[in-house]
Chains A and B, each alone.
Chain A
Amino acid sequence: NAGVTQTPKFRILKIGQSMTLQCTQDMNHNYMYWYRQDPGMGLKLIYYSVGAGITDKGEVPNGYNVSRSTTEDFPLRLELAAPSQTSVYFCAGNSRNTEAFFGQGTRLTVV
Protein backbone atom coordinates (compact mmCIF):
# COMPACT_ATOMS: atom_id res chain seq x y z
CA ASN A 1 0.00 0.00 0.00
CA ALA A 2 1.25 3.47 -0.87
CA GLY A 3 -0.87 5.01 1.89
CA VAL A 4 -1.79 8.66 1.40
CA THR A 5 -0.10 10.22 -1.62
CA GLN A 6 0.05 13.92 -2.38
CA THR A 7 1.15 15.60 -5.57
CA PRO A 8 2.95 17.80 -6.30
CA LYS A 9 5.56 17.98 -3.55
CA PHE A 10 6.51 21.56 -4.35
CA ARG A 11 4.82 24.34 -6.32
CA ILE A 12 5.29 28.02 -6.90
CA LEU A 13 2.20 29.98 -7.93
CA LYS A 14 1.75 33.56 -8.96
CA ILE A 15 -0.84 35.70 -7.23
CA GLY A 16 -4.23 35.12 -8.79
CA GLN A 17 -3.41 31.75 -10.33
CA SER A 18 -5.34 28.66 -9.41
CA MET A 19 -4.27 25.08 -8.88
CA THR A 20 -5.39 21.74 -7.52
CA LEU A 21 -3.47 19.80 -4.92
CA GLN A 22 -4.04 16.13 -5.44
CA CYS A 23 -4.50 13.57 -2.69
CA THR A 24 -5.19 9.91 -3.20
CA GLN A 25 -5.24 7.00 -0.79
CA ASP A 26 -5.30 3.24 -1.19
CA MET A 27 -6.12 2.32 2.40
CA ASN A 28 -9.90 2.50 1.94
CA HIS A 29 -10.17 5.34 4.44
CA ASN A 30 -13.66 6.71 4.86
CA TYR A 31 -12.46 9.96 6.34
CA MET A 32 -10.10 12.39 4.66
CA TYR A 33 -8.76 15.78 5.65
CA TRP A 34 -6.78 18.73 4.39
CA TYR A 35 -4.59 20.65 6.79
CA ARG A 36 -2.23 23.56 6.33
CA GLN A 37 0.90 24.16 8.38
CA ASP A 38 2.32 27.65 8.61
CA PRO A 39 5.87 28.22 9.94
CA GLY A 40 6.06 27.80 13.71
CA MET A 41 2.43 26.85 13.89
CA GLY A 42 0.52 23.67 14.28
CA LEU A 43 -1.66 22.24 11.57
CA LYS A 44 -5.05 23.80 10.94
CA LEU A 45 -7.95 21.95 9.37
CA ILE A 46 -9.15 23.35 6.04
CA TYR A 47 -11.77 20.83 4.90
CA TYR A 48 -12.70 17.28 5.66
CA SER A 49 -14.85 14.50 4.27
CA VAL A 50 -16.58 11.59 5.97
CA GLY A 51 -17.23 9.73 2.75
CA ALA A 52 -17.66 10.03 -0.99
CA GLY A 53 -19.96 12.93 -1.85
CA ILE A 54 -19.76 14.49 1.62
CA THR A 55 -17.48 17.38 2.54
CA ASP A 56 -17.47 19.97 5.29
CA LYS A 57 -15.53 23.05 6.30
CA GLY A 58 -12.83 23.01 8.90
CA GLU A 59 -11.28 25.90 10.79
CA VAL A 60 -9.74 27.79 7.82
CA PRO A 61 -11.75 27.05 4.64
CA ASN A 62 -11.70 30.49 2.98
CA GLY A 63 -10.02 30.50 -0.42
CA TYR A 64 -10.25 26.74 -0.86
CA ASN A 65 -12.65 24.17 -2.27
CA VAL A 66 -12.73 20.40 -2.16
CA SER A 67 -14.61 17.55 -3.74
CA ARG A 68 -14.88 13.86 -2.93
CA SER A 69 -16.29 12.04 -5.93
CA THR A 70 -14.57 8.77 -5.01
CA THR A 71 -13.38 7.21 -1.76
CA GLU A 72 -9.79 7.32 -2.98
CA ASP A 73 -9.41 10.94 -4.07
CA PHE A 74 -9.78 14.20 -2.18
CA PRO A 75 -8.39 17.12 -4.23
CA LEU A 76 -7.99 20.61 -2.77
CA ARG A 77 -8.62 23.51 -5.12
CA LEU A 78 -7.09 26.96 -4.67
CA GLU A 79 -8.80 29.71 -6.62
CA LEU A 80 -7.12 33.10 -6.97
CA ALA A 81 -4.00 32.23 -5.00
CA ALA A 82 -2.86 34.80 -2.43
CA PRO A 83 0.45 35.15 -0.54
CA SER A 84 -1.42 34.20 2.66
CA GLN A 85 -1.87 30.74 1.17
CA THR A 86 1.86 30.11 1.19
CA SER A 87 2.08 27.08 3.44
CA VAL A 88 2.71 23.37 3.64
CA TYR A 89 -0.43 21.37 2.92
CA PHE A 90 -1.07 17.94 4.34
CA CYS A 91 -3.70 15.47 3.33
CA ALA A 92 -4.67 12.77 5.80
CA GLY A 93 -7.02 9.84 5.98
CA ASN A 94 -8.33 7.46 8.53
CA SER A 95 -10.86 4.72 8.97
CA ARG A 96 -13.24 4.41 11.89
CA ASN A 97 -11.38 4.04 15.17
CA THR A 98 -7.93 4.37 13.65
CA GLU A 99 -5.45 7.18 13.83
CA ALA A 100 -4.96 9.52 10.89
CA PHE A 101 -2.28 8.73 8.32
CA PHE A 102 -0.71 11.77 6.71
CA GLY A 103 0.71 12.32 3.27
CA GLN A 104 4.21 13.71 2.74
CA GLY A 105 2.96 17.26 2.29
CA THR A 106 2.93 19.83 -0.52
CA ARG A 107 5.02 22.96 -0.07
CA LEU A 108 3.25 25.83 -1.84
CA THR A 109 4.68 29.30 -2.35
CA VAL A 110 2.56 32.13 -3.74
CA VAL A 111 4.55 35.06 -5.14
Chain B
Amino acid sequence: AQKVTQAQTEISVVEKEDVTLDCVYETRDTTYYLFWYKQPPSGELVFLIRRNSFDEQNEISGRYSWNFQKSTSSFNFTITASQVVDSAVYFCALSEMTTDSWGKLQFGAGTQVVVTP
Protein backbone atom coordinates (compact mmCIF):
# COMPACT_ATOMS: atom_id res chain seq x y z
CA ALA B 1 0.00 0.00 0.00
CA GLN B 2 1.09 3.54 -0.64
CA LYS B 3 1.33 6.17 2.07
CA VAL B 4 2.41 9.80 2.14
CA THR B 5 3.24 11.54 5.42
CA GLN B 6 3.46 15.28 5.84
CA ALA B 7 4.26 15.58 9.52
CA GLN B 8 4.11 19.38 9.65
CA THR B 9 0.52 20.49 10.06
CA GLU B 10 1.24 24.21 9.92
CA ILE B 11 4.30 26.37 9.44
CA SER B 12 4.26 30.10 10.14
CA VAL B 13 6.99 32.36 8.83
CA VAL B 14 7.63 36.03 8.34
CA GLU B 15 7.94 37.28 4.80
CA LYS B 16 11.37 36.70 3.21
CA GLU B 17 12.15 33.74 5.44
CA ASP B 18 12.78 30.37 3.83
CA VAL B 19 10.42 27.50 4.58
CA THR B 20 10.92 23.78 4.00
CA LEU B 21 8.03 21.35 3.80
CA ASP B 22 8.77 17.71 4.54
CA CYS B 23 7.28 14.78 2.67
CA VAL B 24 8.00 11.14 3.43
CA TYR B 25 6.43 8.35 1.40
CA GLU B 26 6.02 4.60 1.50
CA THR B 27 5.48 2.36 -1.49
CA ARG B 28 6.27 -1.19 -2.52
CA ASP B 29 6.66 -0.09 -6.12
CA THR B 30 10.19 0.32 -7.42
CA THR B 31 9.02 2.95 -9.87
CA TYR B 32 6.60 5.73 -9.05
CA TYR B 33 5.84 9.43 -9.43
CA LEU B 34 5.89 12.13 -6.78
CA PHE B 35 3.98 15.39 -6.99
CA TRP B 36 3.48 18.64 -5.13
CA TYR B 37 0.24 20.61 -5.37
CA LYS B 38 -0.66 24.01 -3.90
CA GLN B 39 -4.10 24.84 -2.55
CA PRO B 40 -4.46 28.60 -2.01
CA PRO B 41 -7.25 30.05 0.15
CA SER B 42 -9.51 30.16 -2.90
CA GLY B 43 -9.58 26.35 -2.75
CA GLU B 44 -8.43 25.11 -6.13
CA LEU B 45 -5.47 22.76 -6.51
CA VAL B 46 -2.52 23.96 -8.54
CA PHE B 47 0.07 21.54 -9.89
CA LEU B 48 3.65 22.50 -8.97
CA ILE B 49 5.93 19.62 -9.91
CA ARG B 50 6.18 15.96 -10.88
CA ARG B 51 9.24 13.86 -10.26
CA ASN B 52 9.77 10.26 -11.34
CA SER B 53 11.58 7.79 -9.14
CA PHE B 54 14.45 7.43 -11.60
CA ASP B 55 15.44 11.05 -11.33
CA GLU B 56 16.96 12.16 -8.04
CA GLN B 57 18.27 15.40 -9.43
CA ASN B 58 17.15 18.39 -7.39
CA GLU B 59 15.03 20.92 -9.19
CA ILE B 60 14.72 24.66 -8.86
CA SER B 61 11.98 26.80 -10.32
CA GLY B 62 12.23 30.43 -9.32
CA ARG B 63 11.87 30.58 -5.54
CA TYR B 64 10.79 26.93 -5.35
CA SER B 65 13.15 24.00 -5.04
CA TRP B 66 12.68 20.31 -4.46
CA ASN B 67 15.00 17.76 -2.87
CA PHE B 68 14.26 14.13 -3.73
CA GLN B 69 16.16 11.48 -1.78
CA LYS B 70 15.18 7.94 -2.61
CA SER B 71 17.40 6.54 0.16
CA THR B 72 15.26 8.24 2.80
CA SER B 73 11.98 8.13 0.83
CA SER B 74 11.67 11.88 1.05
CA PHE B 75 10.63 14.59 -1.39
CA ASN B 76 11.01 17.91 0.42
CA PHE B 77 9.95 21.30 -0.89
CA THR B 78 11.60 24.63 -0.06
CA ILE B 79 10.24 28.10 -0.68
CA THR B 80 13.02 30.66 -0.64
CA ALA B 81 12.35 34.24 0.42
CA SER B 82 8.70 33.53 1.14
CA GLN B 83 5.98 35.97 0.16
CA VAL B 84 2.46 36.50 1.45
CA VAL B 85 1.12 34.98 -1.78
CA ASP B 86 2.81 31.70 -0.80
CA SER B 87 0.26 31.28 2.01
CA ALA B 88 -1.56 28.08 1.12
CA VAL B 89 -1.88 24.41 1.90
CA TYR B 90 0.72 22.32 0.13
CA PHE B 91 0.14 18.67 -0.67
CA CYS B 92 2.65 16.00 -1.50
CA ALA B 93 1.27 13.07 -3.52
CA LEU B 94 2.39 9.72 -4.91
CA SER B 95 1.24 7.63 -7.85
CA GLU B 96 2.19 4.45 -9.64
CA MET B 97 4.41 4.87 -12.64
CA THR B 98 2.08 4.13 -15.50
CA THR B 99 0.96 6.47 -18.24
CA ASP B 100 -2.56 6.14 -16.90
CA SER B 101 -1.90 7.09 -13.33
CA TRP B 102 -0.80 10.69 -13.16
CA GLY B 103 -4.19 11.63 -11.74
CA LYS B 104 -4.67 8.60 -9.49
CA LEU B 105 -2.94 10.06 -6.50
CA GLN B 106 -2.26 9.16 -2.89
CA PHE B 107 -2.14 12.47 -1.05
CA GLY B 108 -0.51 13.47 2.20
CA ALA B 109 -2.55 15.40 4.76
CA GLY B 110 -1.07 18.70 3.64
CA THR B 111 0.96 21.44 5.32
CA GLN B 112 -0.57 24.86 5.89
CA VAL B 113 1.96 27.62 5.24
CA VAL B 114 1.19 31.02 6.72
CA VAL B 115 3.38 33.90 5.62
CA THR B 116 2.93 37.16 7.50
CA PRO B 117 4.22 40.53 6.34
Q: Which residues of A contact B (CB under 8 A)?
A: 31-33, 35, 40-45, 48, 50, 58, 88, 90, 92-94, 96-105
How far apart are the CA atoms of A104 and B44 in the complex, in Å? 5
In the assembled complex, which residues on chain A have CB atoms less than 8 Å from the CB atom of B93?
A: 42
In the assembled complex, which residues on chain B have CB atoms less than 8 Å from the CB atom of A35?
A: 107
In the assembled complex, which residues on chain A have CB atoms less than 8 Å from the CB atom of B35?
A: 99
Chain B nearest CB: distance from A4 CB in Å? 10
Assuming the A-B contacts A94-B102, A97-B102, A99-B102, are A42 and B43 also in contact, with contact meaning beta carbons closer than 8 angstroms in the complex?
no
Are the CB atoms of B103 and A92 closer together than 8 Å? yes
In the assembled complex, which residues on chain B have CB atoms less than 8 Å from the CB atom of A100?
A: 47, 102-103, 105
Chain B 89-117 per-residue mask, 1 if CB under 8 angstroms from chain A, else 0: 00101000001101111011110000000
Q: Which residues of B contact A (CB under 8 A)?
A: 4, 6, 9, 35, 43-45, 47, 50, 91, 93, 99-100, 102-105, 107-110
Main secondary structure of the interface of B (DSSP, over half): loop
In the assembled complex, which residues on chain A have CB atoms less than 8 Å from the CB atom of B102?
A: 31, 94, 97-100
7 A-B pairs (CB sep. < 8 Å): A40-B9, A40-B110, A45-B104, A45-B105, A50-B100, A101-B47, A102-B44
With CB as the reference atom, state the residue of chain B lying closest to A3.
Answer: B44
Are the CB atoms of B4 and A42 closer together than 8 Å? yes
Are the CB atoms of B43 and A43 closer together than 8 Å? no
How far apart are the CA atoms of A98 and B50 in the complex, in Å? 10
Are the CB atoms of A41 and B103 closer together than 8 Å? no
B103 touches which of A31, A40, A103 (Cβ 8 Å)? A31
In the assembled complex, which residues on chain B have CB atoms less than 8 Å from the CB atom of A31?
A: 100, 102-104
How far apart are the CA atoms of A104 and B9 in the complex, in Å? 23
Are the CB atoms of A43 and B99 closer together than 8 Å? no
With CB as the reference atom, state the residue of chain B lying closest to A32.
Answer: B103
